[in-house]
Amino acid sequence: MKQEFIFIGPPGSGKGTQTILLSKEYNLPHIDTGSLLREEIAMGTKEGKLADSFISKGQLAPIEVVSSIIKNRLKRTDCSNGFILDGYPRSVEQLTALDNILKEIDGNNKVSLKAFYFDIAQDELIERLVNRRTCKNCGAIYNLKTMNLKDKNKCEKCGGELIKRDDDTEEVAKKRFETYFNQTAPLIELYEKRGQLIRIDASRTIDEIYKELTGAVKENVYS
Ligand code: AMP
């Protein structure tokens, strides 16, 4: 059965860290719309140019841009056994768009879809975001405050350069939370009503959360 996993949670809740690990363990592509949009910006495409001004203000990029990027990505053959969506859908409108995209791609195939919600209080998160660094090369995520890095500019996994995202400032982070609560949080109830929601207490350690997630994923894969 095709395994479709969706991750919802406020900025800095740890979705990225966990979905990268899960993707390796279960050999499912990790599809993260934030990174796909940043790639478009770096390549200077029309989509990237359109999305840029929204990202720098902490707002959602236009739905046409995101839908077209995600549709092309989900159609690729590496998604035939399933995928891990990190940061998509992010609004009720995007959920409807995703339903339509999956209807087209999956047809009558057997599919299991689960949405993991990373539940965590907002107070901790701004500090996490401003201290977050990402490897330019492999995408690994670090926290300068809680992780004892030998070199704050170098990835411990691949030696790549660690960078701070332009939108990981206190000012933009506050806007991103507003966007999350107004537009993304309503999805939690919708997935719950569909019987597809799994709540994760995201205030725990990376290892504790990973253990719970792999347990839930295994149960789903082998059920
Ligand atoms: P992230 O890397 O998930 O924190 O996303 C960074 C930024 O990219 C967000 O604040 C949005 O501006 C934009 N973005 C990411 N995913 C989406 C999405 N599904 N829809 C619209 N904008 C998005």
The CATH number covering residue 99 comes to: 3.40.50.300
Any domain includes 159: no
Whole-prediction pTM value?
0.92
- The predicted pLDDT at position 223 comes to 65
CA of 221 to the centre of ligand 1 (A): 28
Question: 87 in ligand 1 pocket by Cβ < 6 Å?
Answer: yes
Any domain includes 182: yes
- The predicted pLDDT at position 159 comes to 96
Any domain includes 162: no
Among 38, 114, 132, 133, which one carries the catalytic annotation?
132
Distances (CA, A) of 215 to 22, 95, 130, 207, 223: 11, 26, 31, 12, 12
- The predicted pLDDT at position 108 comes to 87
Domain that holds residue 19: 2-121+174-220
Any domain includes 163: no
Any domain includes 155: no
Element (H, E) at 162: strand 162-163
Name the stretches of the chain with pLDDT < 50: none
Question: 132 in ligand 1 pocket by Cβ < 6 Å?
Answer: no
Any domain includes 37: yes
- The predicted pLDDT at position 196 comes to 96
Among 154, 165, 174, 175, which one carries the catalytic annotation?
165
Question: 90 in ligand 1 pocket by Cβ < 6 Å?
Answer: yes
Any domain includes 141: no
Rg for the chain (alpha carbons), in Å?
17
CA of 223 to the centre of ligand 1 (A): 32
Element (H, E) at 117: strand 111-119
Mutate to test the pocket of ligand 1, among 7, 60, 184 (most ligand atoms within 8 A of CB): 60
- The predicted pLDDT at position 203 comes to 92
CA of 129 to the centre of ligand 1 (A): 14
- Domain count within the chain: 1
Element (H, E) at 70: helix 63-74
- The predicted pLDDT at position 222 comes to 66
CA of 17 to the centre of ligand 1 (A): 16
Distances (CA, A) of 83 to 4, 6, 31, 112, 113: 5, 8, 7, 11, 10
Any domain includes 27: yes
